[in-house]
Amino acid sequence: MNKSGPPPSAPPSYAESVGGVPPSSPFVQPGQTIIVTTLVPPGPGPTHMVCPHCHAEIDTSIRSEPSLLAWISGGILALMGCWFGCCLIPCCIPSCMNIVHSCPNCKAHLGTFNSL
């Protein structure tokens, strides 16, 4: 029989196993509220998350803007002779647009979704 001692009561926490900051860290003051946020990758639609700037639970506000690919495609079309607005067609195609996410509360930039 191998008597190495009783098994541990619980597995180590993630912070203990990876070497995170323990709860008795000098960076945490007594009575200080700790807010832990998870970074959510922005998608093509509004994302439900906690804003890392104002710590409010929000659905991101989105706006679309032409991507670099749209501007390059428009430039190539202009060089090929499409002058009368046809060179702006790539700026209207949804798959050539970047989606910019921001906080509706504090207006902070939260991320950009590149469609291509």
* pLDDT tops 80 at residue 106: yes
The tokens for 12 are 């180590």
Partnered with residue 64 across adjacent β-strands are 99
Question: How far is it, in rounded angstroms, from Cα 40 to Cα 57?
Answer: 13
What residue ranges do the domains of the chain occupy?
Answer: 29-114
**pLDDT, tens digit, for every residue of 43-87?**
888 988 888 888 888 889 999 999 999 999 999 999 998 878 888
Q: What pLDDT is stored for residue 26 in this prediction?
A: 53
**Residue 15 in this model has a pLDDT that exceeds 90:** no
Judge whether 63 and 31 are in contact, CB under 8 Å: no
Residue 18 pLDDT more than 60? no
